[in-house]
Amino acid sequence: MVSPVETQGLTKEFRVGFWGKRVRVLSDLNLEVREGEVFGYLGPNGAGKTTTLKLITGLLKPTSGSVRIFGRDCWDFSIKRKVGFLPENPYFYEYLTGRELLNFYGQLVGLRPGERRETIERLAKHVHLSAALDLPLRKYSKGMLQRIGLAQALLNDPDLILLDEPMSGLDPIGRREIRDLIIELKGQGKTVFFSSHIIPDVELLCDRVGILVGGCLVAQGPVDQMLEARIESIEVTVSRVPPGLVEELDHWLVSPPVTKGERLVLTVKDEGTLAELLTRLIEAKAAIHAAAPQRESLEEYFLRHAQPRGGP
């Protein structure tokens, strides 16, 4: 099984400013995306996510290390045919209409005229842009640009789809549409790699996740695994607790009990303590409504790892 995307020791430096000072943007990246999965690439702004994507698509050259797409060098032509790319905040030629743009890109990916026409109609319908196809792109809203961007990325029916911040700047409806599209692509057996800083979307959509901070990949793995890692506490929602019992149970609690209407929320540290607590509560004939393990959310996980570091 060849990885759709695999980087080894990928490093990128830029020369900045008048004196050409070297700035390292990515350090020793060892990324792996598996076939048929949705991979989420998370990181704060400026972490180097877009740089990584540009290295994958061949817009930038690595300073050292390598990028391989389906086992081949990313500049290999036959590979580019299997890849679709949607850049961040995409800009397209304003003076063209949507149809002209897709037609032009269709020519560049090698579609023949008949195929092109058909594909354009199909994709436009898919992204709900059929009505706007003949409007000039300068009249498109942000959401429309995002959608036509997706359409152009799918022209060549790619096996690997790379999306840079596909949800950015979209309203909830727009985000939902992109989410649905990604799910659909996955259903077709395609591999989707997208970068984002909207964590709930990533949590929902992705099979595996990579977290990039300050140019370094600090974590990479299945979403669940990363979250299962720590169960912080367990919240038990109860009612009809006999008075006095709460003070008694206080030493088991991690934080003061919280009253929610008629119910009480007790927080314990782990499963062991939970068992004891439940036993006592049941003995006291309290009503147990819920026991919910509080995993560290991806957001907290992320924030924890995204603390400013002292440098790579």
Which of 67/234 has CB closer to other proteins? 67
Which of 145/291 has CB closer to other proteins? 145
* Minimum distance, C-beta of residue 109 to other proteins, in the bound complex (Å): 6
* Minimum distance, C-beta of residue 143 to other proteins, in the bound complex (Å): 17
* Minimum distance, C-beta of residue 169 to other proteins, in the bound complex (Å): 15
Which of 27/233 has CB closer to other proteins? 27
* Minimum distance, C-beta of residue 226 to other proteins, in the bound complex (Å): 30
* Minimum distance, C-beta of residue 99 to other proteins, in the bound complex (Å): 13
Q: How far is CA 23 from CA 61, 65, 215, 312, in A?
A: 15, 17, 11, 11
Burial class (CB in 10 A: 0-12, 13-18, 19+), 308: exposed
Which residue carries 């498109």 as its tokens? 140
Cα 168 to chain centroid distance, Å, stands at: 11
Q: Where are the beta strands (DSSP E) in the chain?
A: 5-16, 21-29, 32-33, 38-42, 64-69, 72-73, 83-86, 160-164, 191-196, 208-213, 216-222, 231-239, 253-260, 263-268, 287-295
Please tell me the distance from the alpha carbon of residue 107 to that of residue 101, in angstroms, as a whole number: 10
Binding site for other proteins (CB under 8 A): 14, 54, 57-61, 77, 80-81, 83, 85-87, 89-93, 95-96, 100, 104-105, 107-110, 149, 152-153, 156
* Minimum distance, C-beta of residue 263 to other proteins, in the bound complex (Å): 53
Which of 80/208 has CB closer to other proteins? 80
Contact 174, 146 (CB under 8 A): yes
Which of 37/100 has CB closer to other proteins? 100
Which of 25/286 has CB closer to other proteins? 25
Which of 54/186 has CB closer to other proteins? 54
* Minimum distance, C-beta of residue 295 to other proteins, in the bound complex (Å): 37
Handedness of CA 39, 43, 49, 52 (dihedral sign): negative
Give 119-126 contacts, CB < 8 A, sequence gap 24+.
Answer: 119/155, 120/151, 123/151, 123/154, 123/155, 124/98, 124/99, 124/151, 126/151, 126/154, 126/181
Which of 129/223 has CB closer to other proteins? 129
- Reduced 3-state DSSP string for 219-236: EEEEHHHHHHCCEEEEEE
* Minimum distance, C-beta of residue 171 to other proteins, in the bound complex (Å): 23
